[in-house]
Structure 1
Amino acid sequence: MVELLNGVLLRRIRFSNTSLILTWFTDLHGKIKVIARGALRSGSPFAGKLDLFFHCELLLAFSRRSEIHQLREVAIKTTFSGIRASYLKASAAAYFVELVESVTEPEHSAPEIYRLLLRAFDYLDRRSPDAKVVHFFESELCKCLGLYTPGLRSAAERIREAYGQLPETRAALMAQL
């Protein structure tokens, strides 16, 4: 089955000399893994289109036998280039990605989390992060996950309680803010 989706690139892993395994968070299917065959060849139609945090339109061929699907086409919608201009912005975006990856299941639709990631990346593209931004993201993620209870504990504590831990990158990020 071939399907057109929108997604944010969360992770890139080299699969072979010419191919990549990509983790996307999509509007319709949540977190999915995709193989981009030939992506590293010179002259590849994917050249320059598969960078972290890119928001893209994807044409995917879904596999019936595997959790890894095939990327057929990709078109960039937004690069969020401002995130790459600052180590602090990139660190915040990386923490948001790690957090979302740790609390979501593969191929489970979560359009509210997809929209939250886009809002966070749009903010980081234009402004520098601070502790308030991190706390806000965690709080909004808790709302999306049904963990939100106002007042008693911080969102980070609720996530830690529900999922066992927070990404290690959080402590380093908070120390920089």
Structure 2
Amino acid sequence: MIIHSVAIVLKRFPYSETSIIARCFVRGMGKVSFIVHGAHRKKSPMGAYFQPINCLDLVYYFKESRDLQTISKAAFSNNWSVIPTDLKKISYAMALIELTDKCLTDHDAHPDLYDELVRTLKRIDQEEKQLNLAYWFYQYQLLKHLGFKPDFSQAELDFVPLPNPYAGPNSKVVFDHFQQNQTGMQTGLRITAQDRKAISDYLNTRLGIHFDGIRNLKSLQILREMVVA
């Protein structure tokens, strides 16, 4: 079966001297792994296409019995103008990609979450301030779209105590925006250190309950070490 779809590259691995394996979030099919023949050859454009964070327009051959699908054609569907040259933006973008890769399962389509990821990457690329709000909003949306929408009245989940989401002076306002499907980035809201801790601890705890190994993601550790605003 030949499929035409947009996709976001999540990860790539060497496969042979000339080929790679690329794991992608395909809008209409969820997480799919591809063998990309010739991607390591110097004159092949495929190596440039299949880099994490890249948004692609793909034509590929799909066979359900295969673990690795085959690429026919690839082209960029979006180009990032700032992310590749800005360390802070790269860190946020890679955290989004790693988080998505960790939480998705193979061949389980989530087109609304795909669209949300593209919108969030665009915000990271275009905005200069309060990128943490864009990142937290995506974490909230990921939980919601995967069937784990936060219930802020809960004090514990699966026998794990939940941090107080309203422990910061403005954290309740932030979560109120999220529940209204808004990032809050254009409101001029001041995010304090207490807010950052309350929001991050709450979302990461919920994610950690539902998805193993979230707190050990390398990109998230880098984000924690950065001064974010």
TM value normalised by structure 1 = 0.90
Listed as ranges, the matches of 1:38-49 within 5 Å are 38-49=38-49
Whether contact under 8 Å (1:95, 1:167) holds in the other structure is no
Q: Where does residue 142 of structure 2 map in the other structure?
A: 141
Whether contact under 8 Å (1:53, 1:79) holds in the other structure is no
Q: Where does residue 20 of structure 2 map in the other structure?
A: 20
C-alpha change, 1:130 and 1:48, in structure 2 (3 Å) is closer
Give the greater-gyration-radius structure (CA): 2
Structure 1, residues 63-118: CA drift from partner, whole Å, max 9, x if none? Answer: 34321100111011112232111111111111111111111101111112211210
Q: Where does residue 170 of structure 1 map in the other structure?
A: 220
Which range moved further: 116-125 or 62-71?
62-71
Q: Where does residue 66 of structure 1 map in the other structure?
A: 66
Q: CA RMSD in A?
A: 1.8
For the residues of structure 2 that align with 1:98 and 1:42, how far apart are their CA atoms?
27
Q: Please, which runs of 5 or more residues in structure 1 have no aligned partner?
A: none
Between the two structures, name the one with larger relative contact order (CA 8 Å, sep ≥ 6).
1
Structure 1, residues 30-51: CA drift from partner, whole Å, max 9, x if none? Answer: 1100011012223325253222
Q: Where does residue 152 of structure 2 map in the other structure?
A: 151
Q: Where does residue 87 of structure 1 map in the other structure?
A: 87
Sequence identity percentage: 21
Alignment partner of 1:161 is 2:212 = no
For the residues of structure 1 that align with 2:99 and 2:47, how far apart are their CA atoms?
28
Letter in 1 for 2:140: S
C-alpha change, 1:142 and 1:46, in structure 2 (3 Å) is same
C-alpha change, 1:47 and 1:156, in structure 2 (3 Å) is closer
For the residues of structure 1 that align with 2:215 and 2:31, how far apart are their CA atoms?
17
Q: Please, which runs of 5 or more residues in structure 2 have no aligned partner?
A: 154-161, 163-201
For the residues of structure 2 that align with 1:50 and 1:105, how far apart are their CA atoms?
20
Q: Following TM superposition, by how much is the alpha carbon of 1:148 offset from its aligned partner in structure 2, in angstroms?
A: 1.5
Whether contact under 8 Å (1:9, 1:54) holds in the other structure is yes
Structure 1, residues 149-169: CA drift from partner, whole Å, max 9, x if none? Answer: 342452222111112342433
TM value normalised by structure 2 = 0.71
- Higher fraction of strand: 1
